[in-house]
């Protein structure tokens, strides 16, 4: 009997797998190249300091963990939860914005709890963006920002974000060169990977821009609390008119060192929130309820733990930046995030960030993230993540200092690598 067109041989199925168009639009994961080299060297017995992935190593505060354990003992908390988050968690998020930024939010209409900021952003873009819709995304930036657009089938346009240029002039230029007009702008401040910070006037101009061109805005506020030297990060939602054009996402990942817990939210424009809520209702049943209950304790409890976490990152920042500058690699201490964004020193800059990151791994025994992994305008930089304790960061600095001290030898290596790449 003929099995019909629904059945394929093994060889036919392999051909079909190659035709997954969305997957084909996603490039190979650049960071994997360096990760594989790291693992190879570690298997060979090398001690490698990994400052590549921004994976927080600071323990989750104990009172939050204790609440998770307590809630997990209740059998009722092991049933399906609510995809939009339980009411008390949504209220806790709304209260957080009110306490921190004097922003009023309706927890029922303007807040959705999500499995981290990544979930919020990716699913919101999927819910709103149609194939062919134009979305502006800064470059360099965190990979899910552009690739959420790719996954949704949208038309991605990169807008350079650089300290030596006017972002708004670049936005206006991008609008003039774009048809159809953009439907959405995705931004994030404090910014990953560049660590750029902004003031409230910046967001006022963003809101004005969005109203003028009828563009929706998503602001990823993942590093709201990770700020230093007296700087306070403003909320996009605190600007009058912001809720009319966009939403803001927040996560407990950095502020409370809860990376693996996957707790975040989206808040703001009720129409955008409803679109996200409706899509998520078909995809998931929400976070494990004990995690949601513990997250409420994190948001509503004593915030000294956040201050302690921020201080730890500041100490690590100071150690790394001081060490790099003393080694002849000039960097500016960032005012926000858990990263240091460093221009590749001469003469290595021409070799590109991937080859330089590989050289750093092999010669300095330090893993960094290649800037090209964050977009086409990031290739002259690498990113350090402050995810090792101060002792290990000092070890990394010693390795980098030794690496750079052999400048003449490494210059020859760099020139050789450049020639090999050219060939």
Q: Residues of the chain with pLDDT > 70: what percent?
A: 90
Overall domain count for the chain? 2
Q: Give per-residue pLDDT as tens, 247-272.
A: 999 999 999 999 999 999 999 999 99
Residues 73, 47 within the same domain: no
CB 340 within 8 A of CB 383: yes
- The answer on 267 and 402 residing in a single domain is no
Please list, in sequence order, all residues whose beta carbon lies within 8 angstroms of the beta carbon of residue 217, skipping any fewer than 6 positions away: 184, 185, 186, 187, 206, 207, 210, 236, 242, 245, 246, 247
The pLDDT score that the predictor gives to residue 418 is 47
Q: What is the pLDDT of residue 419?
A: 54
Extract the runs of DSSP E, i.e. beta strands, from 252-354: 264-268, 339-343
On whether the pTM is more than 0.85, the answer is yes
CB 335 within 8 A of CB 196: no
Shared-domain flag, residues 248 and 194: yes
Q: What is the pLDDT of residues 7-40, one digit of tens each?
A: 444 555 454 545 667 766 666 667 888 889 899 9
For 235, phi then psi, to 5°, come to: -90, 135
User: For 164-219, how does the pLDDT look when each residue is reduced to its tens digit (9 = 90+)?
Assistant: 888 999 999 999 998 899 999 999 999 999 999 999 999 999 999 999 999 999 99
Q: What is the pLDDT of residues 86-120, one digit of tens each?
A: 999 999 999 999 999 999 999 999 999 999 999 99
Mean pLDDT of the region 117-135: 95
Q: What pLDDT is recorded for position 396? A: 97
Residues 92, 76 share a domain: yes
- Residue 6, domain member (yes or no): no
Q: Is the pLDDT of residue 243 over 70?
A: yes
Q: For residue 406, name the pLDDT band (cuts at 50, 70, 90).
A: confident
Q: Is the pLDDT score of 356 beyond 90?
A: yes
For the domain that residue 331 is a member of, what is the CATH number?
3.90.1150.10
272, 300, 328 — which closes off a domain?
A: 300
Residue 396 within any structural domain of the chain: yes
- Asked if residue 66 and residue 46 are part of one domain, the reply reads no
> In the prediction, which pLDDT does 421 show?
46
Do 47 and 81 lie in one domain? The reply is no
Determine what percent of the chain falls in helix, strand and coil, rounding each to the nearest 5: 50, 15, 35
Q: Tell me if 341 sits within 8 A of 369, measured CB to CB.
A: no
Residues 204, 104 share a domain: yes
Whether the CB-CB separation of 414 and 348 falls below 8 Å is answered with yes
| pLDDT higher than threshold 80 for residue 63 | yes
Q: 146 and 44, same structural domain?
A: no
Q: Give a yes or no: residue 9 inside a domain.
A: no
Q: What is the mean pLDDT of residues 383-408?
A: 92
Categorize the per-residue pLDDT at 411 as very low, low, confident or very high, splitting at 50, 70 and 90: low
Asked whether the beta carbons of 371 and 378 are under 8 A apart, the reply is yes
273 and 163 within one domain: yes
Q: Is residue 3 part of a domain?
A: no
Tens digit of each residue's pLDDT (9 = 90 or more) over 327-343: 999 999 999 999 999 99
Residue 205 sits in which domain range? 62-300
Q: Which of the residue ranges 24-28, 273-277, 419-423 would you say has the lowest mean pLDDT? A: 419-423
pLDDT higher than 90, residue 236: yes
Give yes or no: residues 243 and 123 share one domain.
yes
CB atoms within 10 A of CB 42: 12
Q: Does the residue 179 lie in any domain?
A: yes
Cβ-contact 190, 196 below 8 angstroms: yes
Alpha helices in 341-389 (DSSP H): 353-359
Q: Is residue 355 in some structural domain? A: yes
Which of 279, 300, 321 represents a domain boundary (last residue)? 300
Q: Is residue 187 part of a domain?
A: yes
pLDDT of residue 16: 53
Q: Tell me which of 285, 300, 315 is where a domain ends.
A: 300
* For residue 413, pLDDT beyond 60: no
Model pLDDT, residue 408: 52
**Are both 84 and 40 inside the same structural domain?**
no
Residue 278 · residue 127 · CB < 8 Å:
yes
Are residues 32 and 78 both part of a single domain? no
Tell whether 15 is covered by a domain. no
Task: Quote the crossing angle between the two packed helices 200-213 and 167-176, to the nearest 10°.
Answer: 10
Check: CB of residue 100 under 8 Å from CB of residue 235.
Answer: yes
């Amino acid at each position: 009997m003929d099995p019909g067109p629904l059945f394929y041989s093994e060889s036919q199925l392999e051909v079909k797998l190659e035709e997954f168009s969305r997957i084909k639009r996603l490039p190979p994961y650049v960071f994997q190249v360096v990760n594989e080299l790291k693992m190879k060297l570690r298997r060979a017995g090398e001690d490698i300091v990994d400052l590549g992935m921004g994976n927080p190593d600071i323990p989750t505060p104990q009172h939050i963990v204790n609440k998770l354990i307590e809630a997990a003992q209740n059998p009722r908390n092991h049933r399906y939860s609510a995809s939009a988050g339980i009411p008390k968690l949504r209220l806790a998020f709304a209260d957080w914005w009110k306490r921190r930024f004097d922003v009023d939010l309706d927890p029922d209409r303007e807040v959705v709890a999500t499995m981290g900021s990544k979930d919020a952003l990716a699913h919101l873009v999927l819910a709103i963006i149609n194939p062919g819709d134009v979305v502006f995304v800064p470059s360099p930036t965190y990979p899910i920002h552009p690739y959420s657009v790719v996954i949704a089938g949208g038309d991605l346009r990169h807008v350079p974000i650089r300290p030596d240029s006017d972002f708004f002039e670049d936005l206006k230029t991008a609008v003039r060169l774009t048809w159809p007009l953009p439907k959405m702008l995705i931004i994030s401040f404090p910014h990953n990977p560049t660590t750029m910070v902004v003031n409230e006037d910046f967001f006022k101009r963003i809101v004005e821009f969005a109203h003028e061109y009828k563009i929706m805005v998503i602001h990823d506020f993942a590093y709201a609390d990770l700020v230093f030297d007296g700087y306070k990060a403003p909320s996009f939602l605190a600007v009058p008119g912001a809720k009319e054009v966009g939403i803001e996402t927040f996560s407990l990942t950095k502020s409370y060192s809860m990376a693996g817990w996957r707790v975040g939210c989206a808040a703001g424009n009720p129409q955008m929130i409803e679109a996200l809520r409706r899509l998520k209702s078909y995809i998931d049943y929400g976070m494990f309820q004990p995690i949601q209950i513990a997250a409420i304790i994190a948001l509503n409890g004593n915030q000294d733990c956040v201050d302690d976490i921020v201080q730890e990152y500041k100490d690590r920042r100071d150690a790394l930046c001081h060490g790099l500058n003393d080694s002849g690699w000039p960097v500016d201490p960032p005012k926000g995030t858990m990263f240091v964004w460093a221009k590749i020193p001469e003469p290595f800059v021409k070799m590109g960030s991937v080859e330089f990151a590989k050289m750093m791994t092999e010669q300095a025994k330090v893993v960094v993230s290649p800037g090209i992994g964050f977009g086409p305008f990031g290739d002259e930089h690498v990113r350090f993540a402050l995810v090792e304790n101060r002792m290990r960061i000092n070890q990394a600095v010693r390795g980098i200092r030794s690496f750079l001290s052999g400048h003449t030898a490494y210059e020859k290596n760099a020139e050789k690598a450049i020639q090999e790449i050219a060939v």
